Amino acid sequence: MKSYATPLVLAAVRSLGADVDTVVFEAPRNPEHGDLSTNVAMTLAKQLKKAPRQIAEDIVDALDMDSSIVTEVSIAGPGFINFKFSTGFYGKRLHEVLKIGDSFGRVESGTGKTVNVEYVSANPTGLLHLGHGRNAAVGDTVANILDWNGYDVTREYYFNNAGNQMTMLAKSIHARYMQMEQPDFPMPENGYMGPYIAEIAAEVRQKHGDGFKELSSEHLEVFRSEGEQWCTQRINITMESLGIHHDVLFNEDTLYTEGKIDSVIQRLRDAGYAYDKDGAVWLKLSELGLDDDRVIVKSTGEPTYRLPDIAYHITKLERGFDVVVDIFGPDHIATIPDVMAGCRALGFDDSRIRPLIYQIVALYENGQQVKMSKRTGKSYTLDDLIEELGADVVRFFFIMRGITTPLDFDLDLAREQSDKNPAFYLQYAHARICSVFAKAEVPDVSSVNCDVLQDEHEIALIQQLLRFPEIVERAGRTLEPVTIVEYLREAAASFHRFYHFCPILKAESEDLKQARLALCVMARIVIRNGLSILGISAPNKM
RNA sequence: GCGCCAGUAGCUCAGCUGGAUAGAGCAACUGACUUCUAAUCAGUAGGUCAUAGGUUCGACUCCUAUCUGGCGUACCA
């Protein structure tokens, strides 16, 4: 619609002597306002020094449109110009979409560009929890959205199997190991308390015997590596069950072994943004647009988290990605400006970095928040959720809200195997279409006469489905999974309405039946593609 | 104190680069299964878009201030 109307309106506007390069169209919310609407007349009021309605009239007069395509042009309200398209036009568009087939919705906004999406990135010190779930679902969906926008997408997992946390993991396992013989053996301070630690300890004992009581560095290494293996394996299984696969596993350790950390410090010094004070190395954030300088290397010689984070982002930029997307939880908010400033300090364009920060997840059951116990470490793990609800529902619930909205995960609603559960609404639309095709042949696309589709529900459905590529493109800009979710909800609603009012198999004529079947094919393409962007299955039966 | 995110229907939330009468779902009420799946559909009811100013033809959307809530603010990661 837009591609047809844009050049014509543009020509008409220019013939009035106005200087414009784009005309904005939108689909009016109220169908009485036509199929397409533009506000050019209002935006030009100042430039042309005329009343918006007068300008609108002039534009309409200068407009040269094919009346078999646009049946009605009207002026309404403060100066909107509304267009009504012929039903035949929609039939043609339906034909075009059927020719495109399964790739309908793929757009070119990112063609030729590379993007790195980093998500999950949990360290191998425990099981994944709810926050990781949101991170995983959002990250994977964003990666899918970028893929559909034509980007060359690399999915990356950044993990750290070195440092204090791993030592703490080893000590915690050791303590549980000791407790199998001495129940009062103390846990290390700030140790990991989850029940999985005892599980690992039991495995170590079974595998290596009970001769690891002394906490020598050799023994510690055994506990550490057993713990890492156990956690890594479990994380992989969880990712697998959500259908998530990363292309690159980036180990923080390599930043040290390959000298990247030292090199970044040196480069920051050379650029005049790093200095020594009180035995530590500081980053001059105050000269990079932030308030206070921060330590990047402690007086003990160890780097703070900022330094490897900066070095890691530098490597991503140096690997040549046009866009670097980070999926972070709210606990990372404070560090992001530091990291971006660090990249700026070394001359990189930090607008290439696109941090996405999702808000916290809270679990609700029986109307009450389920609190995690600090003392026992007991809480709902992501595995528990997936096992109970299935991957589709879990993924859907994690992306059904905007990422800046704190997510209340309602367990009771998610458990509901009924119409209350919003995840099923979309899948049901797909299953319904499939059930039609269980009883009818897929029509021959080339010979179907789509012009017979005249009913308002048919036209509304085609209009809705035609918007899909535009939605994918918008999602590529917002990087908000909810953009796709909300659209699919509307598309599914349009389909359900069409299904309710327009009999397909028992249509009045064979022509109409074939045309409606063709419309079902189009609907199935859009819903299936949309669900695949969300990483949710499109069942044939429910 | 400072920073980030939010405040929209009883509840949970959408709302496009600023557009026409602010939309869904749940909960409540009323209807539709002899029918291609009722996990659906149609309808009723429900609103000072936190508050006060400003910008303009036009503000839920942008700006300023205030209030409320969440999170963050280490030579912890």
Which pair of structure tokens corresponds to residue A325?
């997307």
Q: Is A61 helix (H, G, I), strand (E, B) or coil?
A: helix
Which pair of structure tokens corresponds to residue A60?
């309409």
Which pair of structure tokens corresponds to residue A413?
């609603």
- Quick one: three-class SS letters along A20-45? CCCCCEECCCCHHHCCEEECHHHHCH
Kindly report the bases of strand B lying within 7 A of a protein C-beta atom. 2-6, 12-17, 19-27, 35-42, 57-58, 70-77
Which pair of structure tokens corresponds to residue A269?
């010094």
Q: Note the CA–C1' distance, A494 to B9, in angstroms.
A: 23
Rounded CA separation A386/A238 (Å): 8
Rounded CA separation A206/A157 (Å): 31
Rounded CA separation A105/A103 (Å): 6
DSSP string, A194-239: SHHHHHHHHHHHHHH-S---S--HHHHHHHHHHHHHHHHHHHHHHH
Q: Note the CA–C1' distance, A515 to B60, in angstroms.
A: 41
Nearest nucleotide (CA of A39 to C1'): B19
Q: In A377-409, which positions are buried (b, 16+ CB within 10 angstroms) versus exposed (e)?
A: bebbbbbebbeebbbbbbbbbbbbbbbeeebeb
Q: Tens digit of pLDDT per residue, chain A (542 long)?
A: 777 888 888 888 888 877 777 787 887 777 777 888 888 888 887 777 777 788 888 888 888 888 888 888 888 877 888 888 888 888 889 999 999 999 999 999 999 999 999 999 998 999 999 999 999 999 999 999 999 999 999 999 998 887 788 889 999 999 999 999 999 999 988 888 888 999 999 999 999 998 899 888 899 999 999 999 999 999 999 999 999 999 999 998 899 999 999 999 999 999 999 999 999 999 999 888 888 899 999 999 889 989 999 999 999 999 999 999 999 988 888 888 999 999 999 999 988 999 999 998 988 887 778 876 555 656 788 999 999 999 999 999 999 999 999 998 988 888 887 777 888 999 999 999 999 999 998 888 888 888 889 888 999 999 999 999 999 999 999 999 999 999 999 999 999 999 999 999 999 999 999 999 999 999 999 999 999 999 999 999 98
Nearest nucleotide (CA of A400 to C1'): B13
Give the closest residue to A355 by CA, choosing from A323, A312, A393. Answer: A323
Give the closest residue to A458 by CA, choosing from A375, A519, A509. Answer: A519
For residue range A396-428, list pLDDT tens digits in order. Answer: 999 999 999 999 898 888 888 777 788 899 999
Contacting residues for A365 by C-beta, under 8 A, at least 6 apart = A411, A412
Number of helices and strands (H, E) in chain A? 21, 15
Rounded CA separation A254/A267 (Å): 18
Amino acid letter, residue A270: D
Q: Is the dihedral of CA A396, A401, A407, A412 positive or negative?
A: negative
Per-residue confidence (pLDDT) for residue A378, from 0 to 100: 64
For residue range A124-182, list pLDDT tens digits in order. Answer: 999 999 999 999 999 999 999 999 999 999 999 998 887 788 889 999 999 999 999 99
Q: Note the CA–C1' distance, A246 to B14, in angstroms.
A: 31
Nearest nucleotide (CA of A410 to C1'): B12
Q: Note the CA–C1' distance, A447 to B31, in angstroms.
A: 41
Task: Report the residue count for chain A.
Answer: 542
Rounded CA separation A396/A166 (Å): 33
Nearest nucleotide (CA of A40 to C1'): B19
Q: Note the CA–C1' distance, A275 to B59, in angstroms.
A: 48
Whole-model pTM: value is: 0.94
Nearest nucleotide (CA of A467 to C1'): B16
Give the closest residue to A5 by CA, choosing from A26, A19, A20. Answer: A26
Backbone φ and ψ of A405, nearest 5°: -90, 130
CB atoms within 10 A of CB A115: 22
| A407-410, strands of its sheet edge to edge | A368-369, A361-365, A407-410
Q: Note the CA–C1' distance, A333 to B72, in angstroms.
A: 7
Rounded CA separation A348/A340 (Å): 9
Q: Note the CA–C1' distance, A327 to B59, in angstroms.
A: 32
Partners of residue A277 on adjacent β-strands: A280
Nearest nucleotide (CA of A357 to C1'): B5
CA dihedral A311, A312, A314, A318 (to 10 degrees): 130
CB atoms within 10 A of CB A210: 12
Nearest residue, CA→C1' of B40: A496
**A327 near A358, Cβ under 8 Å?**
yes
